[in-house]
Each structure stands twice: as structure tokens, then as C-alpha cells.
Amino acid sequence: VATALGRKTRIHAGSCSDDRSCLDGDCPAFLGVDAPVAEPVRFESLTSAELPDPPRAEWDGDRFELQLVGIGSTGVVTIDALLVRAAEHDGLYAMHLDQTGLAQRGGKVVSHCVLSRAPLSGSPRIEPGRADVLLAFDPLGASDRESLRALDPARTRALVHDLYVPTGADVTTPGFEPPSSSELSGPLRAATRSLERVPAELLAEAALGQALAANLLLLGFAWQRGLVPVSRASLERAIRENG
């Protein structure tokens, strides 16, 4: 974080593993603070009327393919599971593939989710240029060469988390300045039919009091934009069933 006294480190509480290593001096925050936590204001109280249902997602053919790219431990696989469960509640067929690798925490995670009106066969892995929707929970990971292969400028619509998460190299580089939002989403804008940026983490903290809900909030935004071909009732049911 840039300050008048130079670059400082702010702790992201939602990503903390809570192992208390900070007490041994292994954390940049050499300070403990006990403070009351303000109750979040429920979003529903800020609206004057029920939100209208969005148009259903455009869907040509039998298959609808979504690629989800994010950071390990933020709930990428959880969002994939919610989509599959909601699709099943709507009477659709679904297959998915979660590529987590060694991304227990902080690494890149990619989920492939394929929905269909007819029984599915073969692999759920999204082939080059076949993604109908990209949910970029991490714009940096979604912009690498492997992830970009699934996109098509005439087909893919993208929703991007407007947030740059510093890498290890960034944190240890004095004078590092994060890229701007337009710079960060540039490769995705060039590779997609449409792109919207959403400050999901800020909205999640304001509405729910925790940044960890950012990916779920981004999913809700995608649904409101008609990018997710499942019903609201089924999606809410899937959320409840998954706790």
C-alpha cells in the first residue's frame, strides 16, 4: 500500500491461515489490535424494490461451457460445485474438472464446468476457443497463455474481479507498483467478446462483512448479467445445501 511514508504492508485478514506465526515475528504485522467489528448492513435494506430477474443466458446448441480461474483457498472449486448442483436441480446434465495442482493456498486454480441439455460424454476440459463464459476470480492467472487458449473473441463473455493480488516476487521487490485495472484486464479484453470488471472483494466486505465471499458475489453478478444458465431458485438451493 502506498503511503506518505513509503510503501507499507497491509494484512489481508481473509487470507490469514490463523496459525499464530505472527506471534513469533513471522508476519509483517508486528501488532495486535482488539477492536469491535461493525455489523454489516444487509444489502436488501438498501434496495427500494425487488430486483427484476435477468434474461436467461444465451445458449446455442446443447453445451454451455464455463471456465473459472482463481487463487487457491478462495473458493474456486466451491463455485464450480455450486454451478453443477444448481444445474442438476434445473434438470440439466453437468460435468466438471478442477485443476488444483499444488494450489493448497495461493496458487492458481482452474475449474472447467460444462452444462448440457443432453447426456454428456468425453472430457469436461474446455477445448481451445470453446469457453462461453470466463469467471476470472484472479485476473492475473486468467491472463496467462494456457488460460487464454480457451477464450474466443467472438464467443466468450468475461467477468473479472477488479483486484490485483501481489505475487511473492512483488512483495519482495522494493518500489513495486501494481498494474492498473485496464493494464491487468487488457489481455482478457482482447480475447473476449465482452468484459466487465467488478470490485467483488470490496462489495463482499460491505455487504457481508468478509472478503472471502468475493467469488460468490462475482457469481451472483454473473447471474444478474445473464451469464449463468441456471435458475435463481436452483442456485440459492445449491448455496444452502453446501452450507
pLDDT (tens digit per residue) in 194-235: 999 999 999 998 888 888 899 999 999 999 999 999 999 999
CA–CA gap between residue 85 and residue 111 (Å, rounded) = 15
Query: How crowded is the C-beta side of 170, counted as CA atoms within 13 Å?
Result: 12
Residue 59 CA: distances (Å) to CA of 1, 31, 175, 183: 43, 52, 47, 31
DSSP state of 46: G
DSSP state of 144: S
If one compares 99 and 46, the residue with the highest pLDDT of the two is 99
Neighbours of 151 (CB within 10 A): 24
DSSP state of 54: P
Beta strands in the chain (DSSP E): 2-3, 6-7, 63-71, 93-99, 108-116, 133-136, 157-161, 194-198
| C-beta of residue 188 within 8 angstroms of C-beta of residue 143 | yes
Would the pLDDT of 106 be above 80? no
CA–CA gap between residue 77 and residue 62 (Å, rounded) = 24
pLDDT score for 112: 96
pLDDT-based confidence at 104, cuts 50/70/90?
low
**Burial of residue 224 (number of CB atoms within 10 Å: 0-12, 13-18, 19+):** middle
Q: Which three cell numbers stand for residue 96?
A: 466438471
Percent helix, strand, coil in the chain, to 5, is 35, 20, 50
Question: What's the average model confidence in pLDDT over 128-153?
Answer: 95
CA–CA gap between residue 167 and residue 141 (Å, rounded) = 11
pLDDT-based confidence at 191, cuts 50/70/90?
very high
Would the pLDDT of 61 be above 80? no
pLDDT score for 66: 97
pTM tops 0.85, yes or no: no
Instruction: Determine the residue type at 158.
Output: A
Residue recorded with cell 482463481:
70
Task: State the chain's mean pLDDT as an integer.
Answer: 87
pLDDT score for 224: 92
Q: Which three cell numbers stand for residue 207?
A: 455487504
